[in-house]
Amino acid sequence: MPVITCIEDLRRLAEKRVPRMFYDYADSGSWTESTYRANESDFQPIKLRQRVAVNMEGRSLRTKMVGQDVAMPVAIAPTGLTGMQHADGEILAARAAEKFGVPFTLSTMSICSIEDIAAHTTSPFWFQVYMMRDRDFIVRLIERARAAKCSALMLTLDLQILGQRHKDLKNGLSAPPRPTIANMINLATKPRWCLGMLGTKRRSFGNIVGHAKGVGDMSSLSSWTAEQFDPALSWADVEWVKKQWGGKLILKGIMDEEDARLAADSGADALIVSNHGGRQLDGAPSSIHALPGIVEAVGDRIEVWMDGGIRSGQDVLKAVALGAKGTLIGRPFLYGLGAMGEAGVSKCLELIANEMDISMAFCGHTDIRNVGRDVLIPGTYPRGA
């Protein structure tokens, strides 16, 4: 086993172990992938201000996200097809998050179901929903999340229509996946992955198959998903979801200051500055570039979080310094999962926490809750409008 010292080590190992179509699904953006790349690269020019002769004892990364105690300002983002990176992937990631003390978010488009996660964890987890045309299905999803004692609901706002993802098209990624010759040849080179999949019964979309009208198996899923994502999504629908749920509501996919104000007006508890990992509107700004303006636009009216491009604890520190009360990670935990299963997700979280802890100390702070722009070199970071 290679020595793992950073998220990039996990990525390289996942690339070797996960079938090409599923690895590319996780590690790609839309069109030219310019926003996907900018999410990561725009962290690099932001420089940290090193301090010395400051007491570095008694450091803490602990904080709260929507009132929930967390070991660090990081949550696991909802990602579709997680259980195709590794057998039972959502269960393994949820267990790793629970042991570490950070929130896990289950996607509607997960392989393992809401009930699977509830049966394998004891801590409350979060559940993510899309606005579908079938409102009865959404109501049932929310009821299932409530029965599973989910502590927050996350509504994704930026997937009414699907961005064009060239790698998925070239790989023939579909539901169910097409058994092309190229895909079959590639699967033959991934024996570890194949053995894992043979050993689990969870190979379909557990929240949908057998629950949505007319979707009894994987063969009927493709047409259902093509019809269901609702392009007519509006702020009235956000209000409807809020009433149906009645608990903590998080809005994901905010990239504009006016939309951020509307999100605050909606009464939601948190918003996530997110461009869907660069998988929707290519040419949109990076999440870290959009963050300061959105923080400035809403003030303390709603918690502002961000996701997109985080590959280290330093990236989390920079986001917190620019006003984020929390962050979410998608690809880093997927790399860990694909590379080493539950142990890989745990390793991902350990790496991020260690990097954040050490960097925070070098910047003269011992409590993440007190970190602000004073840890950044002026002129190196994006500013609000």
pLDDT above 70 coverage of the chain, percent: 98
Residue 147 binned pLDDT confidence (cut-offs 50, 70, 90): very high
Residue 219 binned pLDDT confidence (cut-offs 50, 70, 90): low
- For the question of residue 365 being annotated catalytic, the response is no
- Tell me what pLDDT residue 176 has: 58
- Tell me what pLDDT residue 172 has: 81
Q: Which phi and psi angles does 273 have, rounded to 5°? A: -70, 110
The one-letter code for the residue type at 277 is G
Confirm or deny that 327 is annotated as ligand binding.
no
Report pLDDT digits (tens) over 246-263. 999 999 999 999 999 999
Q: What is the SS3 assignment for 376?
A: strand
DSSP per-residue string spanning 32-91? T-HHHHHHHHTTTT--B----S----S-B--EEETTEEESSSEEEPP-TTGGGTSTTHHH
Confirm or deny that 180 is annotated as ligand binding.
no
Choose between 14 and 167: higher pLDDT. 14
Report pLDDT digits (tens) over 86-95. 999 999 999 9
Confirm or deny that 83 is annotated as ligand binding.
no
Statement: residue 177 has pLDDT above 80: no
Burial class (CB in 10 A: 0-12, 13-18, 19+), 53: exposed
Going by the DSSP 8-state scheme, the letter that residue 189 receives in this structure is T
Q: What is the SS3 assignment for 132?
A: strand
Confirm or deny that 128 is annotated as ligand binding.
yes
The residue from 86, 276, 289, 365 that is catalytic is 276
Q: State how far Cα 121 lies from the chain centre.
A: 19
299 contacts 331 by C-beta, under 8 angstroms: no
Domains of the chain in sequence order: 7-375 (3.20.20.70)
Confirm or deny that 307 is annotated as ligand binding.
yes
Statement: residue 217 has pLDDT above 90: no
Confirm or deny that 335 is annotated as ligand binding.
no
Report pLDDT digits (tens) over 313-350. 999 999 999 999 999 999 999 999 999 999 999 999 99
Q: In whole angstroms, how far apart are CA 294 and each of 167, 318, 363? A: 31, 15, 25
Structure tokens at 243: 């009433």
DSSP per-residue string spanning 260-328? HHHHHHTT-SEEEE--GGGTSSTTPPPHHHHHHHHHHHHTTSSEEEEESS--SHHHHHHHHHTT-SEEE
pLDDT above 90 coverage of the chain, percent: 89
Angle formed at CA 37 by CA 31 and CA 41, multiple of 5 degrees: 160
Confirm or deny that 5 is annotated as ligand binding.
no
